[in-house]
Chain A
Amino acid sequence: MIIVAVIAILVLIIGIGIYNSLISKKNQVANAFSAIDVMLKKRFDLIPNLVETVKQYMQYEGDTLTKITELRGKAMGSNVSESDKLALDQQIGSAVKGLMVSVENYPDLKANTNFLNLQSTWTESEEQIAAARRNYNSSVTTYNNAVMMFPGNMFAGMLGYQPMPVLETAAEERKNVSAKELFNN
């Protein structure tokens, strides 16, 4: 009788442990995404300042600047899903990258301290977002392992937890790029 009770208590403790672990891993994923969100907001906040600074010098890049401002407006909208926000960020990233390449044609802008600071902060934010995305993917992988592997899959089924997709890594992040290369691109 005592042995049965001990086994039952042990099973209960293990069950509670697995259940809590699943909840904690799911929360960790949500937390990891909110870290990306914070970084994205920080990056989007840089855009108005960046646009204001460069438009005084770049006479021929009006379309790009308008596009960047529009994309930012969409990304900052209230009804944007998480995946849309990330897709918009990638578009903004590409557009700004193009803008940075065009800077070569504007020597006065290249010498502007405010622009240089913004450029550094922008690149820093890229690194921070890349780190946040890697953290998110790591959390998702841990969560997916827990959801798909025995005995977590039994509880996951009961809780209705499904495996989540990891964020695709941008081609630039997959490469072992040095900071210098990022800057020059």
Chain B
Amino acid sequence: MAVNFVISPAVQSVLDELEIQRKKIVSTNYKGWGLILGGILLAFLVTNFGGLIAGLLVGAAAVIPGGVMLYKISDDTAQYKSRFKREVVGAALSSVDQCLTLDPSNGISESEFTSSQLFTTGIDRYHTEDLVCGKIDKTSFYFAEVHAEYKTETRTKNGTQTTWHDILKGIVFVADFNKNFNGVTVVRPKDFGSSIGAWFSKNIFSVGDKNVVELENDGFNKNFVTYSTDQVEARYVLTPAMMERINDLNQRSAYTVSLSFINSSMYIAFPLDKNYFEAPVYKTLLRPDLLDDDMSVLGFMYDIVHELDLNTRIWTKQ
């Protein structure tokens, strides 16, 4: 669903102000980096003809002001980005639905991310931002950008080299599920490792408290491996209709999603390449497609509640 948002005259005037600020930031960035690069070049030239001291003095005369300019403008850039999120994106969300709110400085806490059991890898570095909360009919939901990473260290002749790997870079969506359940059911993308693990767990020995759930939907089984603490409850949550809906949702996503059903809530992790709700610095704000990407991701999240039929609550969970 494409969401309809309106840029009100008030928001337009904020955009006009921010555009002036953006131009100043861009121009200061160019000047600052120009001075630094020019200073370094000049330092090399002067060193060749007039000696090292002269070269350093001339270079420093350009590099230092350039550095100061960049340092000073960094505060303005942070303020510009923050204002864009609060006053432009926040207003656009409200125009879609009064219930929608954006809190740029909050997200999904590391402890909640871990307890969702979406991923099993231990986290070494975690960042979250841009928490969007809303409610559609009976279903409360929230989502936020999450970047969770783990590190590996390799020994080289120069010491230890640390490499960072993504556990998830994308969006975690959380919604109140329409059925009550007590156990934990996790649906993870199927890859070679998880297939081997699932076979081992099913045929040889099951590690941990969750067992593989063999479901009847071939398309679903092709993309996912399902684990649960309760075989019956897993099927109660993952009805044939729900599996079809998850297949459809997955087809619309760029990468295979992960889901978990825990504490009567549903968690979905969407790996994404892009950072959403960010103010452009090197592109103008005064263009009609400014918020298209942000609003399409919002529409996608918004649709989940309808697509997964979460508002239909004929069960005891009203």
A residues sitting closer than 8 Å to B (CB atoms) are: 21, 32, 35, 39, 117, 119-121, 123-124, 127-128, 130-132, 134-135, 137-138, 141-142, 173, 176-180, 182-183
Contact A128 B236, beta carbon cutoff 8 Å: yes
In-complex Cβ contact of A135 among B203, B235, B241 (8 A): B235
List chain A residues, Cβ under 8 A from B309: 178-180
Write out the residue numbers on chain B whose beta carbons fall within 8 Å of the beta carbon of A127.
179, 236, 239, 315
A21 to B206, CA, bound (A): 13
Residues 275-310 (chain B) with a chain A CB within 8 angstroms: 309
Digitize B142-178: 1 where CB-to-A-CB distance is under 8 Å, 0 elsewhere.
Answer: 0000000000000000000000000000000000001
Using a CB–CB cutoff of 8 Å, the interface residues on chain B facing chain A are: 178-179, 203, 213-216, 231-236, 239-241, 244, 309, 312, 314-316, 318
- Supposing A120-B315, A179-B309 touch, asked if A138 and B236 sit within 8 A by C-beta, the answer is no
Verify A180–B232 contact, CB threshold 8 A.
Answer: no
Q: Are A134 and B216 in contact (CB under 8 A)?
A: yes
Contact, CB under 8 Å: B244 / A176: yes
Q: Which of B232, B236, B314 contacts A183 (CB 8 A)?
A: B314
Say whether, besides A21-B203, A127-B239, A138-B216, A180 and B312 are in contact (CB < 8 Å). Answer: yes
Instruction: Look across to chain B and name the residue whose beta carbon is closest to the beta carbon of A117.
Output: B316
Which residues on the A side are within 8 Å of B178 (C-beta)?
A: 179
The residue in chain A whose Cβ has the minimal distance to the Cβ of B241 is A176
User: How long is the Cα–Cα vector from A127 to B241 in the complex, in angstroms?
Assistant: 12
Query: Does B203 lie within 8 Å of A180, measured CB to CB?
Result: no
A/B interface sample: 6 pairs, CB < 8 A:
A120-B314, A124-B179, A135-B235, A138-B215, A176-B244, A179-B315
Q: Identify the interface centre among B178, B179, B216, B235: most chain A CB within 10 Å of its CB.
A: B235
CA distance A179 to B309 in the complex (A): 8
Residues of B within 8 A of A137 (CB): 216
Please determine whether B233 and A131 come into contact, CB atoms closer than 8 angstroms: yes
Pair A120/B316 contact, Cβ less than 8 Å: yes
Q: Distance (Å) between the CB of A35 and the closest chain B CB?
A: 5
Beta-carbon nearest neighbor of A28 in chain B: B231
Check A128–B232 contact: CB distance below 8 A.
yes
- Chain B residue with the shortest CB-CB distance to A132: B232
Contacts of B213 in A (CB 8 A): 138
Q: Known contacts A142-B214, A176-B241, A178-B241: does B316 contact A134 (CB below 8 Å)?
A: no
| A175 vs B99: C-alpha distance when bound (angstroms) | 35
Please state if A131 and B316 are interface contacts (CB–CB under 8 Å).
no
Contacts of A182 in B (CB 8 A): 314
Kindly report which residue of chain A lies nearest to residue B203, judged by CB atoms.
Answer: A21
- Of A124, A141, A173, which contacts B315 at CB under 8 A? A124
Q: Which residues of A contact B314 (CB under 8 A)?
A: 119-120, 123-124, 179-180, 182-183
Residues of A within 8 A of B241 (CB): 176-178
A130–B203 CA distance with the chains assembled, in angstroms: 26
Q: How far is the CB of B264 from chain A (nearest CB, A)?
A: 14
Q: Could you say which residues of chain A place their CB within 8 Å of the CB of B215? A: 138
A124 to B312 CA separation, bound complex (whole angstroms): 12
Closest chain A residue to B204 by CB distance? A17
Beyond A119-B314, A127-B179, A179-B314, 20 extra complex contacts between A and B, CB < 8 Å:
A21-B203, A32-B231, A32-B232, A35-B231, A121-B316, A124-B316, A127-B236, A127-B315, A130-B235, A131-B233, A131-B236, A131-B239, A134-B216, A135-B231, A138-B216, A141-B214, A176-B241, A179-B309, A179-B312, A183-B314
